[in-house]
Structure 1
């Protein structure tokens, strides 16, 4: 059947265009309707193409805010090359303020490269993979911890598959200059089914971010993302005259294996004893899990099995068995 998502945008046409990626969705209220996913294209001629996305998870707001700001900035900036912007990629999830789509339960960042016959969320992934990735040289998918996690500000990237891709990626990450950078294989975080991993598999220099967390908005995360995007646009020569702050020193981290992550083994109330960014040692107390049934019993004590830096921590207190509570990273020193 092929990709059913369509748009009126001509990506080769010079200038600015704004429309939607129209995702077919037949519902009780609209038999032949479509989901309007905002899509913008700035084309200034010869130069690289940068794909920018946010709202892949609807409850992560920092990237959504930053890309809306950036659109207004780009509208008044001379562009060389092309910038494609999708600030609400999983629009049904964005409107619902949820990580997953209320239409089909789809987690967009676990469905790449997508399919045309598995609901609207997989169709969005397929459109990005089959239509937008072939146009792009670089891609940034902006994430944050969302409703369930508090996250250290960090940029993630899968290692390049060729020397040329690795060199472009290193320069790309250095330009964005998040306070922390992690090269990852995706273990525990979606593997090859995420947008940035799929982009890397297509030869694109791609990265994603975590920009804080919780159900609100992190001003620090917004500032990091806007500064990073400004530097990237300038360094790639797409907007060479764009003002951008000088980068701070970047710390390089590696994620520790999922086996070192502390998970809830029962339902309960999570009482954390550590903060994101804190350095901890093996054996230290990460927190307590208070059970629901026998209130006279002491809580379970949760201890770290390895030392490292707390890179994420569960935000809600209410916890179910299997929830990730605290994750660790270590600094790369060589």
Structure 2
């Protein structure tokens, strides 16, 4: 039997109404021996119906999802809801307040630590709470991400294909309901594999998707619009907030990730000059970019090529790059 979570909250998940409180993440420091970190949590419940778990701020430097969820919980009144919506708009709160991908408390990357540990580091404890307490209540999960500081992404949704035919059908239903311009099926290779929030939800058999809505640690208006429209469509589709949005065909373009074998990685450290933009179609052997060397200005740049054909889903955002950095990822139509 798994160890119970050390995180607690005053929220009653079974009570009707709109509750706004915190997850209390225990953290003992030099200045606060018995302190806790506040993780904002909003639960909106009314009668019976499905439960939708919505999270953002899993990485603190990704903003479209955080703003979309803040705006949503400000708008939603309990009497409009059939079922339950659980919202954590700043899930990795220490990272959110620091504007960082990882937590300043323990350098923990929340989206690489699932299923977490009950008595682990602060970030491991948070992953464990989501996995052991929130997931068992959820009928569907959406974890909103963007490219953060290091990546520029085409606005899209991602999901694992499904563990069984029935699960796969439920995943496709969620993808279609969210209706991102592009939806990508992936096994997580090249990213967090089975250690991400949405991958762990999928392992539990829960329909789950994540997003990438922009990048560069700034706000993309297009990405924010995709998040807000998608959330409204899902809430309406599942009958949680009837009439919130039109629920007709989404028109999403279903694609698949080409994984690590088709990605472009920096072979050396230097200054990265990309040759194509996100969303571009490329062919195997086409120039992807060049790396210049500020410490050896007379040295010829290294020219990089794409190992496969497909569409660019993301590219590295910072110019300064190091050996091993991912420069491009590719996807293609299913």
Aligned to 1:274: 276
Aligned to 2:182: 180
The answer to whether structure 1 residue 140 and structure 2 residue 122 are counterparts is: no
The answer to whether structure 1 residue 48 and structure 2 residue 50 are counterparts is: yes
- Aligned-pair distance for 1:157? 0.9
* Residues 1-334 of structure 1 mapped to structure 2, 5 A cutoff: 2-75=4-77, 78-244=80-246, 248-332=250-334
1:238-273 deviations in Å (ceiling 9; x for gaps): 000213586652111111130221111111000111
Which stretch shows the higher mean deviation, 104-113 or 256-265?
A: 256-265
> Cα RMSD between the aligned structures?
1.3
- Aligned-pair distance for 1:163? 2.8
SS of residue paired to 1:139: strand
Runs of 4+ residues deviating >6 angstroms: none
Q: Distance in 2 between matches of 1:193 and 1:205?
A: 16
- Aligned-pair distance for 1:221? 0.3
TM-score by length of 1: 0.97
- Aligned-pair distance for 1:116? 2.2
- Aligned-pair distance for 1:77? 5.6
- Aligned-pair distance for 1:158? 1.1
Contact 2:178–2:250 at 8 Å: present in 1 too? no
Q: Distance in 2 between matches of 1:275 and 1:228?
A: 25
SS of residue paired to 1:114: coil
Evaluate the alpha carbon distance shift between residue 247 and residue 64 of structure 1 in structure 2; reply closer, same or farther with a 3 A threshold: farther
SS of residue paired to 1:71: helix
Q: Distance in 1 between matches of 2:267 and 2:23?
A: 42
Unaligned runs of 5+ in 1: none
Contact 1:227–1:244 at 8 Å: present in 2 too? no
Matched residue pairs, number?
332
TM-score by length of 2: 0.97
1:63-103 deviations in Å (ceiling 9; x for gaps): 00000000011137610000000000000000000000011
Q: Distance in 2 between matches of 1:308 and 1:13?
A: 49
Unaligned runs of 5+ in 2: none
- Aligned-pair distance for 1:167? 2.0
Q: Distance in 2 between matches of 1:157 and 1:245?
A: 20
